[in-house]
Amino acid sequence: MDTLLYLTRRIAQALVVILIVTVVVFGLLHALPGGPARGILGPQATPQQITLFNHDQGLDRPLPVQYLYYLRQLLHGDLGTSYTLNEAVSQLIEQRLPKTLVLTVLSAVVGLLLALPLGMWQAVRRNKPADYVITTLSFVAYSTPVYFLGLVLVMVFTQVVRWFPSQAPQGDTVAQVFADPVALVLPVVTGAASMVAVFSRYMRAATLENLSEDYVRTARAGGSRQRAILFRHVFRNSLTPVIAMLGYYVPVLFGGALVVEQLFNYPGMGLLFWSAAQSSDYPVLLGCVLVISVATVVGTLLADVVQRVVDPRVKGGLA
Amino acid sequence: MNNILEMENLGVTFSTESGDVPAVRGVSLRVAPGETLALVGESGSGKSTVALAALGLLPGNARASGGVSVGGTDVVGAGEAELARLRGRTASMVFQEPATALDPLTRIGRQIAEVVRNHRDVSRQEAAAEAVELLRRVGIPDPERRASAFPFQLSGGQRQRVVIAMAIANSPGLLVADEPTTALDVTVQAEILDLLRALAVDSGTGVLLVTHNMGVVADFADRVAVMLEGEIVETGTVEDVLLRPTHEYTRRLLEAVPRLTVSEPVGVVHEESEGAPVVELRGVGVRFGRGPRAVRALDDVSLTVRAGETVGLVGESGSGKSTAARVALGLVAPESGDVSLFGADLRKARGRARRTLLAGVGVVLQDPVASLDARMSVGECVAEPLRVHRSGMGAAERRERVAEVLELVRLPRELARRGPRELSGGQRQRVSLARALVLAPRLLVADEPTSALDVSVQRTVLEVIAELQSELGFACLFVSHDLAVVQQFAGRVVVMRGGRVEEQGPTMSTLLHPETAYTRRLIAAVPIPDPVLQRERRERRVASGTEAGA
């Protein structure tokens, strides 16, 4: 199929999914106990105040009309106003999102760079001591809650050996964040740990499966060495299922950021989400949910496109 | 003359969880340059293990003992580095399954070039150019362009040519071919065998050919070694072994091979069935998919199966024969045309009426492993149709009926309590048959029921079906790619090609005097297990091929 046609169709699909997300977010806004009015005016508000507020805000009109209104605001980048910070939600997200992206993307890159070779190495040395040790460590890393792992890391590397600071870079811009790379180490490592655990398992399984494929035998029969077979054939073939998983991992990364930012006092989206949840700041919460949903949809879209590039069969409609 | 391959007292043992399993014992054989030795035997005889041992490609849990020498190098004792130098240069291999033998993500030209560069110090460009030349040699049209194709863009036959191109890239002295044509259609099989023969003759390559197909042996081999349970029981020239076998097992094996009769039969006449039509397809068209990418699977297909008769449905892969069978089973809804089952319109029948109608059809499919649920006991598998269609039946009555049907297909009734995994392939196919017959159907649809079985097992399964048919009188729609089996088994034959019916008629006259060039080509391509006859047939086929090509 034509690549352009595919992309158009795939983006249209993504837009539909995002539209459904907005319906859900809108529904959640209105499912709040007492509606948005109670949220804004507080628990002490009288019914009269609420009615008045609802009328002023157009909240007494039929839901579909309100939804269209909400959608129009969204298109204008208006996500509402924070109850507690008295600032536009869009502005809050605009300030925080880049910093969170720095954290999550770095964690993902570091995590993958470790996980892929590790998984492959494990597959080659399967059922040998090294494999067992790494398998055990990945299960430990995977089942340790992120905040606990972070605390342990902070304790070891700031108290025992004092290699890294216990706080993430505090600057407001991305440039300021990168100005202090040493301070980024602990947050990124904490964020990457579960990623390494999960994706080294995927990679191990995918590599093992590919190593038993017929084409590996063909390559060996042609006189190719183990190393060449691994890097020329098995690696690429094992990568495709891992890429597919990566798209679905975006929300998990954001979830991790929530804890990591809290732990290392890094004012990104996670911290914003966290404090909004503490103070029932619903517009902020839902704004974050919307952004994360969009990021997930974009993530899976990217994963599909990358897979199409890596695996020609996807393009041919055969895989 | 020095032998390119010498095996002396080769033994191979697999270590499994349940202990050591000897797969090959005391195998000694040799292949001279330019000579083809066929290693034949049924599944589990150890012939593929011997082939893999020749290149030191045995899996990790296998231990080899004895001596294997390829071009003077001892393979059993060699390390991986030494083996890598040997593989693809002194000796190379062609595998059974072309669909999976190539890396799906690497262009075929690169895969061939890799073998070249494994052994010779040439630049990337030179290797790529050589790959194109090799593709040309193995008969891939437009090789410059095809070199950048991915394996999935090629047909099965073309993929096998690519694997052969890889195998001959460094002009090896020994070529090991493990069932190189088993996964291919007969016409493609004939082409691949011609190609391998030409390559072997041209370059004096010794060939170790592993196959279960006696026709292929007759077509290709100079000498034959017969394997049984890990040991060689008989060795000799192809004429001696195939025409004058001395070992009892070889005789039994050859007897079980269905032979395509190519001359007038002596007195065997299938009588035309006069019965009422059981299933009738009239002008049926089936399309899969939608829009410009849709595939027309069936186009104006008409065929009839009458009460008590067997109709063979033959054709190459992709000809639509399985789809036609599925239409008769009500599994595929035709886009156009009519299907009548037992006189009723299957397309109009809905709900209970449709279920009742379909209860009169039993089905046996190709794969004996996949077609039985491994989590159910044999008894449960066979009883399932009763549960669906005879829900009023009590448990005791159901058990009795299951036992009855198991005995009908010559299986002991005690088998009902076992799991399908504990049975052999032939037993499993008979369980499938029992399940198909448990409702006493008027029509049996058998889609390649014996293709996955060894010849001796195939024979018993076919005998059981034939006997039950004369006993119970059901009609049979028999889908097969094997013309010899169909010739023995079916009264009428329908030849399909590209979704259309090419021709149909009584089996004997259609297969002996085919009316279309396609059927003639199909029959000419079937190798028959008689080396003298087959040589004549091959020469005639090749001659007519060059005529047609000129």
Tens digit of each residue's pLDDT (9 = 90 or more) over B370-396: 888 888 999 999 999 999 888 888 889
Q: Does A236 touch chain B (CB under 8 A)?
A: yes
Which one of A218, A243, A314 would you mutate to disrupt binding with B, by most B Cβ within 10 Å of its Cβ?
A218
Q: How large is the average pLDDT for residues B154-172? A: 90
User: B166 contacts in A (CB within 8 Å)?
Assistant: 218, 222
Which of A215, A240, A316 is nearest residue B102 as measured by Cβ atoms? Answer: A215
Residue A35: the pLDDT is 65
> Closest Cα to residue B13, out of B45, B49, B52, B55?
B49
Domain range holding B445? 277-287+295-360+441-525
Residue A58: the pLDDT is 73
User: B81 contacts in A (CB within 8 Å)?
Assistant: 225
Question: Given the DSSP bridges, would you call strands B206-211 and B174-178 parallel, antiparallel or unpaired?
Answer: parallel
pLDDT at B203 over 50: yes
Which one of B49, B93, B103, B118 would you mutate to disrupt binding with A, by most A Cβ within 10 Å of its Cβ?
B103
Q: Does B293 touch chain A (CB under 8 A)?
A: yes
Neighbours of B58 (CB within 10 A): 20
pLDDT at A1 over 60: no
Residue B441: the pLDDT is 92
B185 domain-assigned: no
The model's confidence at residue A50, banded by pLDDT at 50, 70 and 90, is: confident
Which of B84, B102, B150 is nearest residue A218 as measured by Cβ atoms? Answer: B102
B497 domain-assigned: yes
Domain-ending residue, one of B121, B155, B171: B171
Minimum mean pLDDT range among A178-182, B46-50, B236-240: A178-182
How far is A226 from chain B, CA to nearest CA, in Å?
9
Beta strands in B308-423 (DSSP E): 310-314, 336-341, 344-345, 361-364
Give ipTM to 2 decimals: 0.80
The model's confidence at residue A116, banded by pLDDT at 50, 70 and 90, is: very high
The residues that bridge with B113 in the sheet, in sequence order, are: none
Burial of A159: CB neighbours in 10 Å, binned 0-12, 13-18, 19+: exposed
Q: List the 159-198 stretch of B: residues with Cβ below 8 A of A.
A: 163, 166-167, 169
Closest residue of chain A to B163, computed from CA coordinates: A218
Question: Which one has a higher pLDDT value, A61 or A272?
Answer: A272
Q: Does A214 touch chain B (CB under 8 A)?
A: yes
Q: Positive or negative, the Cα torsion across A35, A39, A44, A50?
A: negative
When the pLDDT of each residue in chain A is averaged and rounded to a whole number, the result is 85
B192 domain-assigned: no
Q: Does B286 touch chain A (CB under 8 A)?
A: no
Instruction: Please report the DSSP string for B438-462 in residue order.
Output: TT--SEEEEESTTTTS-HHHHHHHH
CB contact under 8 A, A214 and B95: yes
Determine the straight-line distance between the first and last CA of chain A, rounded to whole angstroms: 13
B132 domain-assigned: yes
Based on the fold, state whether residues B163 and B283 are members of the same structural domain. no
User: B106 contacts in A (CB within 8 Å)?
Assistant: 232-233, 236
Residue B369: the pLDDT is 80
CB contact under 8 A, A313 and B89: no
Question: Given the DSSP bridges, would you call strands B73-74 and B361-364 parallel, antiparallel or unpaired?
Answer: unpaired
**Over the stretch A235-293, which tens digit does the pLDDT of each residue have?**
999 998 888 888 888 888 888 888 888 888 888 888 888 888 887 777 888 888 888 88
Q: Does A310 touch chain B (CB under 8 A)?
A: yes
**Over the stretch A220-230, which tens digit does the pLDDT of each residue have?**
999 999 899 99
Which one of A124, A127, A212, A214 would you mutate to disrupt binding with B, by most B Cβ within 10 Å of its Cβ?
A214
CB contact under 8 A, A313 and B152: yes
Q: How large is the average pLDDT for residues B395-413? A: 91
B138 domain-assigned: yes
> Closest Cα to residue A154, out of A112, A118, A183?
A183
CB contact under 8 A, B102 and A222: no
Strand order from edge to edge, sheet including B277-288: B295-306, B277-288, B336-341, B344-345
B203 domain-assigned: no
Which of A213, A217, A233 is nearest residue B57 as measured by Cβ atoms? Answer: A217
Which one of B87, B105, B170 would you mutate to disrupt binding with A, by most A Cβ within 10 Å of its Cβ?
B105
The model's confidence at residue A319, banded by pLDDT at 50, 70 and 90, is: very low
The model's confidence at residue B243, banded by pLDDT at 50, 70 and 90, is: very high
CB contact under 8 A, B86 and A213: no
CB contact under 8 A, B150 and A220: no
Q: Does A311 touch chain B (CB under 8 A)?
A: yes
Report the amino acid identity of residue B417. Answer: R
B107 domain-assigned: yes
Q: Does B380 touch chain A (CB under 8 A)?
A: no
Minimum mean pLDDT range among A146-150, A192-196, A204-208, B540-544: B540-544
CB contact under 8 A, B114 and A316: no
Instruction: Please report the DSSP string for A275-312 in residue order.
Output: HHHHTT-HHHHHHHHHHHHHHHHHHHHHHHHHHHHH-H
How far is A206 from chain B, CA to nearest CA, in Å?
15
CB contact under 8 A, A224 and B118: yes
Q: Give the A:B interface size as CB pairs under 8 Å.
A: 89
Residue B213: both structure tokens together? 């197909």
CB contact under 8 A, B119 and A223: yes
User: B115 contacts in A (CB within 8 Å)?
Assistant: 222-224
Residue A64: both structure tokens together? 């579909």
Tell me where in chain A the CATH 1.10.3720.10 domain(s) lie: 103-316
User: Which residue carries 């924070």 as its tokens?
Assistant: A82
**Cβ(A291)–Cβ(A101) below 8 Å:** no
pLDDT at B268 over 60: no
Residue B415: the pLDDT is 87
pLDDT at A318 over 50: no
How far is B544 from chain A, CA to nearest CA, in Å?
35
For A103-316, which CATH class?
Answer: mainly alpha
**Rounded distance between C-alpha atoms, residue B541 and residue B189, angstroms:** 13
For chain B, the helix, strand and coil percentages under 3-state DSSP, each to the nearest 5: 40, 25, 35
Domain-ending residue, one of B104, B137, B171: B171
Residue B549: the pLDDT is 42
User: A222 contacts in B (CB within 8 Å)?
Assistant: 87-88, 92, 114-115, 118, 166-167, 169
pLDDT cut 90: percent of chain A above it: 19
Q: How large is the average pLDDT for residues A139-147? A: 86
**Rounded distance between C-alpha atoms, residue A43 and residue A110, angstroms:** 46
How far is B11 from chain A, CA to nearest CA, in Å?
21
Q: Does A309 touch chain B (CB under 8 A)?
A: no
The 3-state DSSP class for residue A319 equals: coil
Which of A218, A225, A228 is nearest residue B163 as measured by Cβ atoms? Answer: A218
> Closest Cα to residue A263, out of A197, A174, A165, A137?
A165
B329 domain-assigned: yes
CB contact under 8 A, A222 and B169: yes
Residue B98: the pLDDT is 85
Residue A118: the pLDDT is 93
CB contact under 8 A, B88 and A215: no
Count of domains for chain B:
2
How far is A69 from chain B, CA to nearest CA, in Å?
39
CB contact under 8 A, A215 and B153: no
